[in-house]
Chains A and B, each alone.
Chain A
């Protein structure tokens, strides 16, 4: 991790300063239908979904009986069914988990990942582009709420999403065969805004900078949602859901052992995913994702840090030959 590819740097700045587009069709998509679908998901997951209506949406965490993360899922209420957006390639696991707890309920879960597609637009000018695509104002659209959109005859759901670079929108396409045409239409509609298609490397840097945990690195059954900073998506007064007893106890007795934090790594640092961090000669945490950010002179990272060291300004040593190398703990998201 020493230099940044110039193409990645350009992509990064297009998202930070203007608007960028990325194909995120590898996110899983499931549909839940039946009269009990919403009630079931409300009973199974952390968010209070009971009052969710057509056009609305929310993020909710699926947790195991031990209160560990199964997935962080965006739920969009489409009127006659729910659309769930899961972590990349995690739809089978989520569908199996939902199926396990569907006993007497009128609820059917189907995998629509291969039939549909998902395009994200992100950056400070994303709302302008989204308004053009939706053909209506979307500036005040609350997180995960959605509106129908149509451009050049291509129909999609446009949802406000949790994306880096000041947030963004998801264009969820009913027909995957129209993805290439939709991408072309988005580039055309946002030409004067400087919209640019970006790749996974630039996106990963933006994600780390925004402090958004990803499945497999910051989220899975090794972690609980309080450690991952997912409190905004947990209702503490709605009653039971799977894992609630554990999550409530951790919160009530302040027993969260580690926290997801930002890290400023030393310039030229060899630190990468899995690098261990030390304080006072003891292990204090580990790096989960690291990247070079064009906006900074030091590499940035996400990492889980033991709670006693999870304070901005704390210096931690890297497990490397350069014993003096120190990482600085910072709050998330990283400041601009």
Chain B
């Protein structure tokens, strides 16, 4: 096992979320399951998460792989996402992808916006 493989990814994804990403990636026609995770201004609390299937690697990206899914995070967003775990909440009242972000001091009611 290499040193890199033993490291805990800075941004993690649960098996449940990874399974969902694999399904959606397949529907999107992606050859490789993956997500770009970013933070942008907006939302009730000032910062909001942005997910996209654009997994072409760009300069400065950090790339993590877990449960067969590739996660890409740009270096600006990474500051706000260190230690974050991406999960998936399903069912009638499920919220879809949910973030457990230790940097978020306040989260809005819908859970997609936060402040640090």
A interface residues (Cβ-Cβ under 8 A, vs B): 40, 43-44, 65, 100-105, 240-246
Report how many residues on chain B are interfacial, defined by Cβ distance under 8 Å. 23
In the complex the two chains form, is B47's CB within 8 Å of A101's CB?
yes
Interface status of B113 (Cβ within 8 A of chain A): yes
Q: Is the interface of B mostly helix, strand, loop or mixed?
A: mixed
Q: Is the interface of A mostly helix, strand, loop or mixed?
A: loop
Tell me how far the C-beta of A38 lies from the nearest C-beta in chain B, rounded to whole angstroms. Answer: 13
Report chain A residues within 8 Å CB of B20: none
A-B residue pairs, 9 tightest by C-beta: A101-B41, A43-B42, A245-B44, A240-B43, A244-B44, A242-B46, A104-B38, A240-B44, A245-B108
Known interface pairs A103-B76, A240-B113. Does A65 touch B45 (Cβ–Cβ under 8 Å)? Answer: yes
Tell me how far the C-beta of B61 lies from the nearest C-beta in chain A, rounded to whole angstroms. Answer: 11
A100 to B14, CA, bound (A): 30
Report chain A residues within 8 Å CB of B43: 43, 240-242
A–B pairs, 28, beta carbons within 8 Å: A40-B40, A40-B41, A43-B40, A43-B41, A43-B48, A65-B44, A100-B41, A101-B41, A101-B42, A101-B47, A103-B40, A103-B41, A103-B47, A103-B77, A104-B38, A104-B39, A104-B40, A104-B74, A104-B76, A240-B44, A241-B42, A241-B43, A241-B44, A242-B45, A242-B46, A243-B44, A245-B44, A246-B44
Report chain B residues within 8 Å CB of A241: 42-44
In the complex the two chains form, is B108's CB within 8 Å of A240's CB?
yes
B83-116 interface code vs A (CB 8 A; 1 in, 0 out):
0000000000000000000000010111011010
